Amino acid sequence: MIVDETITLRAGYHGMQGLYGVLPDRTVVGKMIGGGVPIGAVCGQIALSEPMTDADIDQFIATAQAVLTGMFAD
């Protein structure tokens, strides 16, 4: 399960997942953690992140850069 806490993190320290008592595999947060600066984070259980290799992380970064470049292209 993936929970998007971009806005709902304001509901409490654990966001909506704390209010509903769920433990997601991944949580996406943003806006509030940047203090007004556009930033986001993908969080999750460490058991799901351990299988990632350096190549996986490099591919993720390259994809994110390509998406951001496309978003801000004229």
Please count the structural domains in the chain: 1
Structure tokens at 49: 């992140």
Q: How far apart are CA 33 and CA 59, in angstroms?
A: 24
Mean pLDDT for 56-69 is 78
pLDDT digits (tens, 9 = 90+) for 1-52: 877 777 766 777 777 888 888 888 888 887 767 777 777 788 787 777 677 7
Strands (E), the chain: 2-4, 26-30, 40-44
Q: Is the pLDDT of residue 57 over 80?
A: no
> Distance between terminal CA atoms of the chain?
36
CA 67 – CA 28 distance, rounded (Å) = 17
Q: Of 64 and 73, which is predicted with more confidence?
A: 64
Evaluate whether 36 touches 14 at the Cβ level (below 8 Å).
Answer: no
pTM across the whole model: 0.54
How large is the average pLDDT for residues 44-61?
76
